[in-house]
Structure 1
């Protein structure tokens, strides 16, 4: 009592389609991504900045995910909060989250003024001569920071601004 040729062929085709179905489900299912399941190494949460003037922020880690919004200003500070392969999940100063390809990030540090206008000063002292007045939501590049003051550049000016009211630094973080 053997299996007929057509019965064997039917069984092989059934198995093939079953494997094809399971493979399709695995390949096209949404990817579960978290810092604990990062594909390459351990996540180091950090601040970075946007490399270009037009950067897509996507709903997931890949070009097949829809664009949620765009960054339109170079050097905007972001926080990297997760990673998957070459994609980084980021958070902006307003709390918005999305995915950006790592090539669109640079690790030059920048800050955004969130606490109102600030006076840039020649030295890290409230009595030092003023150099410029910086407006809210202005992006500045960081040269160094201590616990109270940051030395920054903005447009054609370099000087010291108070650390309070800046986004892009961890509490008690210093930059040398």
Structure 2
């Protein structure tokens, strides 16, 4: 099930083309490739702070809403900044604008969203950052986890009462090779 609810609007469809005038051009796929107006790196990952967030086709409340996210903690990738607005991309590739007050620097990640819908596919969470370490949990694709550390190959993740390590190439919410604490 998607974490967003589509809002249909004739105005939204008509204004969708306008959003391309604010396009980000080619997007780098490694953190730190550029700096935004905020001084923070672009692109970068954040999460939704609020439980109801409108994704707009342009950087203002004057623009139509194209999606409604109905859960906090959803990972987002900021790909552009304009004033107090952030152009974001979600795990499905949907792009739009969200006011910065609705975003959090807390890192979250979606577990292998590209495997969503596959039968009997799980991603393993281990007790240590290595294959073959004790199994903590088996997670379904699309599950959102909090991440607080990545070493370039593994990320320490938490979901409900389970904590452990997930291979970094099995999440959407950290760049390949990205390390942070």
- TM-score for the superposition, normalised by structure 2: 0.73
Residue in 2 aligned with 1:47? 45
The correspondence for 2:100, drawn from 96, 99, 102, is 102
CA shift digits 1:63-107 (9 cap, x unpaired): 111100011221111111111111111011111100000000001
After superposition, the Cα gap between the structure-2 partners of 1:157 and 1:87, relative to the gap in structure 1 and judged at 3 Å, is: same
User: Unpaired runs of 5+ in structure 2?
Assistant: 1-17, 26-35, 116-120
Q: Displacement of 1:147 after TM fit? A: 2.2
- Count how many residue pairs are aligned between Structure 1 and Structure 2: 146
Pair 1:124 & 2:146 matched: no
Contact 2:168–2:176 (CA under 8 A) maintained in structure 1: no
1:61-76 alignment, distance < 5 Å = 61-76=59-74
Q: More helix by proportion, 1 or 2?
A: 1
- TM-score for the superposition, normalised by structure 1: 0.74
Residue in 2 aligned with 1:77? 75
User: Unpaired runs of 5+ in structure 1?
Assistant: 1-29
Distance 1:49 1:153 in 2: 15
Distance 2:45 2:134 in 1: 30
Contact 1:131–1:159 (CA under 8 A) maintained in structure 2: yes
Pair 1:173 & 2:178 matched: yes
Residue in 2 aligned with 1:86? 84
Q: Give the aligned CA root-mean-square deviation in angstroms.
A: 2.4
